[in-house]
Amino acid sequence: MAKSIVSIAKGTDVEKMLHELLSPLGGVRSLIKPKSRVVLKPNAGHVSPAETSVNTNPELIAALIKEIRKAEPKEIIVAEAAAVGCDTMECLRVSGILKAAEDAGVDRVIDIKSDKDLINIPIRDAISDLKKVRLPRFLLEAEHLVNVPIFKSHCSMVFTCALKNMKGVVQDKVHYQMHQTDLAAAMMDLWSVIKADLNIADLIRPAEGFGPHSTIPAKFDCLIAGRDPVAVDATACRMVGLDVDNVAYFNAARQRGIGVFEQDLIEVKGKSIEEVYRPLWLPYMEGFEKYPEYKIDTEGACSSCLSLVGLTMEKLKALGEYEKNKDIHVFVGRKKEIPEGLDPEKVLLFGDCLKKFHSKGILAEGCPPLEPHPLWAIVDRKSYSGMGPGFRERMAEEGPPFEAYMEQLKKEKQAEEK
């Protein structure tokens, strides 16, 4: 079996680093056909400035446009569909990507959410409930789709990089449907009908901490590239000390046959993993013994929900709600039954796999649930599903106290390590 090739480059001059990165893959002229249409898909899903590392580094987008121009394509497009509830053009503007792309000579910038020329694509042998998607014609007809994610910690997936970034090629309705089914499986189903032919992951300043909203940027100065998004993501995980066996994500990719994550099936060129290795703080994987005051039953849970449980516990602490809600019993993961005799007001049922027990507790719906819902369900003692009015506003209000709390946590961790 041929190995997936992944290239790693390290440096502080982004243009030079990008050129070095693509050389082991044949260089830009062999990767991009002349007179072709090239679509760049950054991660610009949230209204956050470049210094937060929530979105792809604008310097990388600019360098990539200049590098791809050397291959003499017909057209270079930057396209994105921001997270549900976010305005794509606002995200591109605030992130600095719009200006960087325009200054570098991009031909068009497209908000996928407002594109009207969509094609219905059936998903054959779907492993999730996503049986079809509507995708923009320009994207399907482009000769090249270059996926340019940032690596960051993520509450519903532990981390996000190449595989998850492609969720941003669909409009809100499909995006929302993906969150109502098994998200990891839905992402792989999406990859089965729209593939990036090149993935360039931004680890210039990846984000540790409680992403995707409460990030701490970490200086890393690296880029990773490859045609196989699974191999790119797995290599990124190994570079930052995240065990791929702990991320359910990769099994869904294997089930769908998207790529390989086993180390012996990946050939790393350029820098080695050892040369660039630097563990990032990804607190979603630290375990639940840290919360002895709460009963948390995690048997049968996916990493997506597990990481969200961790985030929920930390947010309860940050918002001064942890002590007040110690009577809550959290159930997460596929279960045959929920014990009898518990007060339904004190039982949190986490995610769609416990929907059938709704009469026995408060439900945070979704697979996984939307990020703030488990927290709000505990604090308000009521079930949550979908994005109702005031969703973004409440999240924005809770942001600053959590960020201050997280900075403090990180300092404590650094002090412990010294």
Query: Does 187 sit near ligand SF4 (CB under 6 A)?
Result: no
Identify which range of 45-53, 75-83, 233-241, 298-306 contacts ligand SF4 by CB under 6 A.
298-306
Burial class of residue 299 (count of CB atoms within 10 Å of its CB; 0-12, 13-18, 19+) = exposed
Identify which range of 74-82, 192-200, 338-346, 351-359 contacts ligand SF4 by CB under 6 A.
351-359
The binder of ligand SF4 chosen from 20, 202, 233, 352 (CB under 6 A): 352
Q: How far is the CB of 333 from ligand SF4 (least distance, A)?
A: 5
Phi, psi of 150 (to 5 degrees): -105, 150
Comparing CB distances to ligand SF4, the nearer of 40 and 252 is: 252
CA 133, 136, 141, 142 torsion-angle sign: negative
Query: Does 296 sit near ligand SF4 (CB under 6 A)?
Result: no
The binder of ligand SF4 chosen from 52, 160, 304, 307 (CB under 6 A): 304
Q: How far is the CB of 302 from ligand SF4 (least distance, A)?
A: 3
Phi, psi of 288 (to 5 degrees): -105, 5
Q: Is the peptide bond before 283 cis (omega within 30 degrees of 0)?
A: no
Binding mask 362-381 for ligand SF4 (x = CB under 6 A): -----xx-------------
User: Which of these, 345, 248, 360, 356, lies nearest to 306 by C-alpha position?
Assistant: 248
The binder of ligand SF4 chosen from 161, 188, 301, 349 (CB under 6 A): 301
User: Which residue number is nearest to ligand SF4 in terms of Cβ?
Assistant: 351
Identify which range of 159-167, 188-196, 299-307, 398-406 contacts ligand SF4 by CB under 6 A.
299-307
Alpha-carbon span 200 to 393, nearest angstrom: 33
Binding mask 309-348 for ligand SF4 (x = CB under 6 A): -----------------------xx---------------
Alpha-carbon span 75 to 108, nearest angstrom: 8
Q: Is the peptide bond before 368 cis (omega within 30 degrees of 0)?
A: yes
The binder of ligand SF4 chosen from 351, 361, 372, 374 (CB under 6 A): 351
In sequence order, what are the residues at sequence separation of 6 or more whose Cβ sits closer than 8 angstroms to the Cβ of residue 9?
Answer: 17, 18, 20, 21, 222, 223, 270, 271
Alpha-carbon span 379 to 280, nearest angstrom: 31
Phi, psi of 73 (to 5 degrees): -75, 165
Question: Which residues are at the interface with ligand SF4 (CB under 6 A)?
Answer: 182, 301-302, 304-305, 332-333, 351-353, 367-368
